[in-house]
Structure 1
Amino acid sequence: MLATVITSQEVKEWCRIDDDADDATIDLLILAAQDAASSFTGLLLDPLTCPAAIKQAIAVFVADLYANREGQTVGEKTFMRLLSPYRVTFL
């Protein structure tokens, strides 16, 4: 399994989720958000060296996807704003 830069427990704390009923969903959303963050920045994200802002962006995106399962997300701007300083651009 792919190592994630943020744990499901950290995400659950951010989302204020107290039970384990949606753990599988949260794990899947973490992987999707991490993949999106990696794609947006162009970085291979390492759990040991990942900046806090990228972890926070992933938590925000997971919370948004979790709360808005119909696909009408609102956290995308915050996600991109947190990730933009880490975006690798190629000339």
Structure 2
Amino acid sequence: MPLPLNEVKQWLRVDHDDEDTILQSMIAAAEEYLRSALPSWIDPAKNPPAKILALSIIADMYENRDTIADVRYAAQLAGYRQTVQSLIAQLKYAYPHVETTRLPEAKAGVEYSATVRATGGTPPYTWQILGGELPPGLSLDPQTGGITGIPTVAGRYTVTMEAKDMDNRTA
């Protein structure tokens, strides 16, 4: 979810509409840069430190808009600033990051066991399913991230899981 244009304009103290198009492209470029710089997406619209980081990158691009033609390149340049690098490092380690992106294949009727792993944030983590579903017969242990059981139905399943750390930060 992109940062709202009105919040960016307020942050930059811009009170006119003539630069809305360039500001929207700066918002997109800053978020694209953050997606590549962080191990997992941390939505600036929902996360105050990520929001400050995105706004800092946008402010840097806005301040240098006359000297840089390509906003993607401007986002990369802003990303090299020491303050931005420091904020990125803090976000990388302060928030949990789900490391498991793919689980071993399960076979119907055969005992299954796998564990979803996370790093960062403040362990221990609690796990929940946000979307999709596990195959019938398998269940998630919310305390360990373990997925166990005997699948009863063959098929392709997609599941989106969330790790929440001790400080209620999520990945």
TM-score surpassing 0.5? yes
Are the aligned partners of 2:26 and 2:58 in contact in 1 as well (CA < 8 Å)?
A: yes
Map 1:44-83 onto structure 2 (within 5 A): 44-46=41-43, 50-69=46-65, 70-71=67-68, 76-83=81-88
Which residue, out of 63, 84, 87, partners 2:92? 87
Give unmatched runs, 5+ long, in structure 1. none
Specify which structure has the higher proportion of strand: 2
One-letter code aligned to 1:82:
L
Map 1:5-20 onto structure 2 (within 5 A): 6-20=3-17
Structure 2: how far apart are the matches of 1:52 and 1:83? Answer: 13
Counterpart residue number, 1:22: 19
Report percent identity of matched pairs. 27
| TM-score (ref. length: structure 1) | 0.77
Task: Return the offset for 1:74.
Answer: 6.3
Structure whose alpha-carbon radius of gyration is higher: 2
Residues 84/47 of structure 1: CA separation in 2 closer, same or farther (3 Å cut): closer
Residues 39/78 of structure 1: CA separation in 2 closer, same or farther (3 Å cut): same
Are the aligned partners of 1:53 and 1:83 in contact in 2 as well (CA < 8 Å)?
A: no
Aligned-residue CA RMSD (Å)? 2.5
Specify which structure has the higher proportion of helix: 1
Structure 2: how far apart are the matches of 1:74 and 1:59? Answer: 11
Highest relative contact order (Cα 8 Å, sep 6+), 1 or 2? 1
